[in-house]
Amino acid sequence: MPSLSVKVTVIIPNWNGGNWLDDCLNALKSQDFSGFEVLVVDDASTDGSSDHLEERFPGVRVLRLTEHHGFAKTVNAGVMVTSGDYVVLLNNDTVPSISFIRNLVHAMDTMPPEVGSLASCMRSMDNPMLLDDTGDIFTWYGHALKRGHGRTVIEFKRENEILSACAGAALYRRVFLNEVGGFDEKFVSYLEDLDLGLRGRLLGYKCMFVASADVLHKGHGSNLALRDYIRFVTRNRLMLIGKNIPRSLLVRHFHHLLIGQLALFIQYRHPFDSVMGYLSFLRQIPHVLHERHRILAAKILSDQEIDRLLDPSPEGVYLPRWILERMRRGYH
């Protein structure tokens, strides 16, 4: 059982992460911060990756799920059975630096209560001088981007406010998770952290980037097959927009969103799986409408403030120029 006085809970969702899990847990053993518990939530792995944790890492708790549910429900299950005031989420293919937890906790301890989450400095495991992710960006073209991806670490040394943290290495206040409602389990996997962050922003919470919280990240350590990835992100992108964006902004940015969807449909080069993602979204419309009513009724930000949360840049939109121009002319 966890200590009643524990301040920080580290939750590692694991699905067939046998190649990565030991390095992550060894790095946590070396942290220069005490007062945290570690919970591995095993999402019905079939590679035996969690079978011997009690022997190798006796201080680590393991929660075994009997069915495979995906990231969102796996993390929520871990949050429910732990007690820390702060929840640190770590992907199994991460290696946190020795001061990772201490720097996150120190930063949050000095933040006002409206800061509900912190993003870390996620470096590429293949080239640690380059960034993998310093938080989530969502554009008015409907594209989710990794902030700073591929750029040098030295360019991102300033603490600043961002839209949302990447849940692969982030700290959340438990009160934030409770008030916002945790991760939406209908997302299963992918973009659930962006949805959580955006819902928090609508309620007035903020997210900050902490440059001193270094962690190496391989990326896609327990990834789905490409066809499943395309179906999930296609559906979840539309769910995120449908749940959280007010009607006036949907109208104002309709042409941007349409261009973005067309671009992604072409870029994925798997039209059948993209169409299956759209059909899967249609099945989620009752959930989206129910959540939309609840979320937008409780928001405290104005539509103008929400408009500024999303990036107007067409970054990631790769379409022939003649298509873009024709769509823009048709809109105007």
Question: What digits encode the pLDDT tens for the residues 120-171?
Answer: 999 999 999 999 999 999 999 999 999 999 999 999 999 999 999 999 999 9
pLDDT digits (tens, 9 = 90+) for 175-189: 999 999 999 999 999
pTM of structure: 0.94
Structure tokens of 207?
Answer: 């997210």
Where are the domains positioned within the chain? Answer: 8-217, 226-331
pLDDT digits (tens, 9 = 90+) for 267-318: 999 999 999 999 999 999 999 999 999 999 999 999 999 999 999 988 878 7
Q: Is 225 exposed, middle or buried (0-12, 13-18, 19+ CB in 10 A)?
A: exposed
E-strand stretches of the chain: 8-14, 36-42, 60-64, 86-90, 94-96, 115-124, 131-133, 136-138, 144-146, 160-162, 169-173, 206-217
Structure tokens of 80?
Answer: 């429910």
Q: Is 304 exposed, middle or buried (0-12, 13-18, 19+ CB in 10 A)?
A: exposed
For the domain 8-217, what is the CATH superfamily, name and number?
Spore Coat Polysaccharide Biosynthesis Protein SpsA; Chain A (3.90.550.10)
